[in-house]
Structure 1
Amino acid sequence: MQTSLFDNTENAFKLKSDSELERAYFLFKMISKEPLVRIGTAATRFALNANLPVEGLIRSTVFDHFCGGVNEEDCMTSVDKLYSANVCSVLDYSVEGKEEEASFDECMNKVIGLVEFADEKDAMPIVVFKPTGVGRFAIWQKLTEGTALTSEEQVEWERIKERMHAICKIAKERDVEVLIDGEESWMQDAADDMVAELMATYNKEKPIVYNTLQCYRHDRLEYLKKLHLEARARDFKIGMKIVRGAYMEKENKRAKEKGYPTPICKDKRATDENFNATMRYIFENLDDISLFLGTHNEDSSLLAVKLMGEMGIAKDDNRVWFGQLYGMSDHISFNLSLEGYNVAKYLPFGPVKDVMPYLIRRAEENTSVAGQTNRELELIKAERKRRKL
């Protein structure tokens, strides 16, 4: 496909100073070498666990490139900077792997605070959280597997539901959209059922609550069509973020170990076709389903632009948003926003040590996605050359 829409590096990197551009070049150069990523992530984990004084180094390199800050206020410089280029921000409290009730309450309060924060800022129309941010993975897994909960777990489950309702209720009151991230397949059915209930409660007039479809799973379009029938029968709107997916290696490994067929598409091409077919289905049913298109893929982004043009969907129609991660694919984000499309950057934040699992996953993902890091490097190189000239 023709990619001229995304070739404008001057616009793509206009918010980056020369030193920030050099830092990006250095980071992607490092990430492009798998052995370096393995050694670097192991060394970082060790240094943080041993309480070595490395936070300043992490902060000035990988953290500041991929994260907005250590708290909401810290993110505001980045939020305002992005909005000056008509790119909105989705603040993402990216603390992962916590298992205590106090952490789940903290996450709920953090997201509710973000909803209230977003309500007063045009630059932040959307918030996001993960199901496991508000409840233990094991509970979601047991429910997905159809295993009975103990009486203590049942009490825990009721609290999880209360947290999710508390977030979505205030989001509805403040008219702020909530994206609920997708996770591993062996806990996702319970999350899907819960989010469908939230949609039935809070999405009567328009989508407030959005679920996430990871399109590297070959069953996701079929699931969306079933949910669409349910939404029509129960008279609610669907909000859906679609992504390719973040847990492929883990999914395939577990399927092999446990001896069940992998839920993942057979190859990259099948995943791309599934993603594009799901996107097309949503565009064809935009009166019922709103779309947050979470992709770093140029072809899918161009296809979306083409379909919107063919179907007469306005570039700034609030039912369609394009989203990319902060620090990645700026050539897609800023060139789409320049054309007048709705664009948002996922802006992760949190204490440096707590956000490291997220950052390590990002580095590993970039290394494993063929061509992605090279594409970033080529664009940065082109912009460095343009600036020198």
Structure 2
Amino acid sequence: MLFRNIILHSRTTSPRPVPGCSKYMTGMIRRYSQHIPARKCEANTAHPGTQKSLPITPAINFKNFSNHHLAFQHKTTKELLRSLFVLYSCSIDTLVNNSFKLLRMGEWLMGPRLLRLLISPFYYQFCAGNSDQEMMVTAHNLSKSGVSILVCPLVESDVGDQQLRSELFNTNLKETLDLVHMAAQNNYLKPIPAMCHVKISALLSPDVMMRVHDAYELLSFKDRISVVMAVADAMDPNTSKSTPSIGPLALSPEDTKDLLDCLPRIYEIGCVATESKVILLIDGEYTYVKTTINLLSLAMMRIFNSEKLLVWNTYQGYLKNTLNVLQHDLDIATELKLKFGAKIVRGAYLEMERSRAQRLGYPDPVNDTYQLTCANYDNVVELMLRAVHNNQEDRAVMVATNNEASIRKAVSLLHELGLDPQKGNVVFGQVYGMAENISVPLGKAGYRVYKSTPSGSVLEVLPYLSRRLNENRTVFKGARRERQLLSRELISRLRSTS
């Protein structure tokens, strides 16, 4: 009855367009895998090997975004029912607002085992699983539609997390290195490169990052260039230097030491990614540490992007100043002759950014409305697409959004500028478990598409899922169209079997 009501609701609701390395992670995954019922794997789970490039059309037929057969042909009927149930549930404000409380209460009342069974539909909707084999199956299934995985870490940290010290940073480093290897091992669409997210806050205390951010903000453009060069030199052990320096960046001796101590960790990740041929996408995180992330990303680009675009930074369209920040970093990249890649997202920390601004009494950094965010997002994407057009060897962009209108605009501009979608300097990204009607048609048409895919135990994933539910409520509310397509595909399958 529940699924029948969900299907009827989706049918009667009109679509609304809305703008080399450690073995730690492997051991951890195996240790926790017993907590989750294993996902049924396909009989043939062997590495399918390298696939040929798909033929590219002059421009994708946007009508395919409404083709439910094309979007969901790789999913079982059971998976369709699960997707419909989960996406419908995620559109209910009461459930989303109290998700973390409900999860904690459920664990207390029912115990960990029953809770895992209860939330398994949500877990498997948005997570690849908790074992190497489950990740392999997920990546293999996506590859059939021309879609690659973008391995996503589960670290969630913020200012005030005092437990973040060198011992934990080293643990996070090992986990990140294993995620890089996981991305490389599950790349079934070669020569398309694998991709992996990296969180700087897993390697350096957010409190230190905030103070570096404040100090960097006070510098002139010329001094910022000097700091990028100094940090890159301090990060690279092959650079001859007597004493590591951070240039004109005014920090306390303690913060300077912490910053310098994190650089070897970042350098090791870059080296492993280079050897594994994995592109690193540096997460954007919070506004009050973002400039630190930009600084370290530019320093990494100076070291690791000499031959290929290995390091890309993230820019968040929901922030009012993103267009200016991106242009600023592009200018630094031009001055230093860096290869520069950018992932453009809407953003995932909206409520926390607004509540912090209100609590501390500074201007809200987030756009006032979702419509303004969409307009800003499209402008930021256009800036990067034109930058790629003007310098196709040294610039790259990922258009990372579940929003169909923004995808349409980006694809149209891509072809207007005469860019080749198979070259690899313009790619697309969506969240695993959502926007199949966008990802699959793009992948089938030969565009390079990635799904941001977390992997881990239920206990690890709970905070991640709760955060994503709360911060992406607008996205879930806007999933009416996807629910409608899911319903159509379900009805079509039921009719064909009757």
Q: TM range, normalised to the smaller chain? A: over 0.9
Counterpart secondary structure, 1:156 = helix
What secondary structure sits across from 2:343 in the alignment?
Answer: strand
Q: Does the CA-based 8 Å contact 1:134-1:164 persist in structure 2?
A: yes
Partner of 1:367: 473
Kept after mapping to 2: 8 A contact 1:182/1:211: yes
Asked if 1:77 corresponds to 2:137, the answer is yes
1:137 to 184, 200, 206: 206
- Relative to structure 1, is the Cα distance of residues 73 and 49 closer, same or farther in structure 2, using a 3 angstrom cutoff? farther
Give the superposition deviation at 1:6.
0.6
**Structure 2 CA distance for partners of 1:105 and 1:63, relative to 1, 3 Å:** same
Q: Is 2:402 aligned against 1:296?
A: yes
Does the residue aligned with 1:206 lie in a helix, a strand or coil? coil
Instruction: State the Cα deviation string for residues 56-102 of structure 1 (Å, max 9, x = none).
Output: 31563111110011244431110111112211011112132373433
In structure 1, the residue corresponding to 2:470 is in which secondary structure?
A: helix
Report the alpha carbon displacement of residue 250 of structure 1 after superposing the two structures with TM.
Answer: 1.3
Question: Closer, same or farther in 2 for the Cα pair 1:376/1:101, shift >3 Å?
Answer: farther
Deviates more, 1:164-173 or 1:326-335: 164-173
Residue by residue, what CA displacement relative to the aligned partner does 1:96-136 show, whole Å, maximum 9, x if unpaired?
A: 23734333222222222333344454336111121112222
1:170 corresponding residue in structure 2:
272
Corresponding residue to 1:26 among 78, 85, 88: 85
What is the DSSP-based 3-state SS (H/G/I as helix, E as strand, rest coil) of the residue aligned with 2:328? Answer: helix
Measure, in 1, the Cα distance between the counterparts of 2:294 and 2:167: 24
Structure 1 residues 241 and 373, CA gap change in structure 2 (3 angstroms): same
Rounded to whole Å, the distance in 2 between the matches of 1:216 and 1:331 is 24
DSSP 3-state at the match of 2:112: coil
CA contact (8 A) 2:149 2:187 kept: no
Question: Is the 8 Å Cα contact of residues 164 and 205 (structure 2) preserved in structure 1?
Answer: yes
* Counterpart Cα distance in 1 of 2:380 and 2:255: 35
The alpha-carbon distance between structure 1 residues 36 and 55, as it changes in their structure 2 partners (threshold 3 A), is closer
SS at match of 2:146: coil
Shift of 1:150: 5.3
User: Which of 322, 326, 343 in structure 2 is aligned with 1:224?
Assistant: 326
Question: In structure 2, how many angstroms separate the alpha carbons of the residues matched to 1:264 and 1:125?
Answer: 32
TM-score by length of 2: 0.73
Please say if residues 139 and 187 of structure 2, whose CA atoms lie closer than 8 Å, have aligned partners that are also in contact: no
Tell whether the 8 Å contact from 2:149 to 2:183 is kept in structure 1 after alignment: no
Q: Deviations over 1:24-48 (max 9, x none)?
A: 1111221111112334431212344
Q: Is the 8 A contact 2:90 2:476 kept in 1?
A: no
- Contact 1:85 1:337 survives alignment (8 Å): yes
Change in CA separation of 1:34 and 1:71 when aligned onto 2, cut-off 3 Å = same
Distance 1:24 1:189 in 2: 37
Contact residue 96 and residue 355 of structure 1 kept, 8 A: no
How far off its partner does 1:329 sit? Answer: 0.7
* Percent identity of equivalent pairs: 29
Question: For 1:52, what is the secondary structure of its paired residue?
Answer: helix
Does the 8 Å contact 2:215/2:251 carry over to 1? no
Would the alpha carbon gap of residues 95 and 225 (structure 1) be closer, same or farther in structure 2, given more than 3 Å must change?
A: closer
CA distance in 1, matches of 2:209, 2:340: 22
Q: 5+ unaligned residues in a row in structure 2: which ranges?
A: 1-16, 18-60, 158-162, 217-249
Q: Quote the residue 1:312 is aligned against.
A: 418
- Count residues in correspondence: 389
In the alignment, the residues of structure 2 paired with residue 260 and residue 62 of structure 1 have an alpha-carbon distance, to the nearest angstrom, of 36
Which residue number corresponds to residue 346 of structure 1?
A: 452
TM-score, normalised via structure 1 length: 0.93
Which shows bigger deviation, 315-324 or 260-269?
260-269
Query: Which of these residues, 145, 160, 166, is aligned with residue 101 of structure 1?
Result: 166
Q: Closer, same or farther in 2 for the Cα pair 1:41/1:378, shift >3 Å? A: farther
| Match of residue 104, structure 2, among 45, 69, 72 | 45
Match of 1:146 among 202, 206, 215: 215
Deviations 1:298-318 (A, max 9, x none): 011011111121111122121
3-state SS of paired residue (1:135): coil
SS in 2 for 1:54: helix
Residues 73 and 92 (structure 1), Cα distance of their counterparts in 2 relative to 1, 3 Å cut:
farther
Name structure 1 gaps, 5 residues minimum.
none
Q: Which residue of 1 aligns with 2:356?
A: 254
Q: Which has the larger radius of gyration?
A: 2
Name the stretch that deviates more: 146-155 or 297-306.
Answer: 146-155
Q: Check whether the contact 1:48–1:353 (CA below 8 A) recurs between aligned residues.
A: no
Tell me the equivalent position of 2:177: 112
Partners of 1:105 and 1:8 in 2: how far apart? Answer: 47
Task: State the AA in 1 paired with 2:117.
Answer: L
What is the one-letter code of the residue matched to 2:419?
A: I
Q: State the distance in 1 between where 2:469 and 2:415 align.
A: 35
Deviation at 1:383, TM superposition (A): 1.5
Q: Is the 8 A contact 1:3 1:298 kept in 2?
A: no
Distance 1:262 1:40 in 2: 25
CA distance in 1, matches of 2:99, 2:285: 25
Looking at structure 2, the residues matched to 292 and 259 of structure 1 have their Cα atoms a distance apart, in angstroms, of 34
CA distance in 1, matches of 2:460, 2:351: 23
Which residue of structure 2 aligns with residue 190 of structure 1? Answer: 292
Are the aligned partners of 1:31 and 1:373 in contact in 2 as well (CA < 8 Å)?
A: no
2:419 and 2:204 map into 1 onto residues whose CA distance is 38
Segment of structure 1 superposing worse, 91-100 or 217-226? 91-100
What's the Cα RMSD here?
A: 2.3
Distance 2:410 2:397 in 1: 11
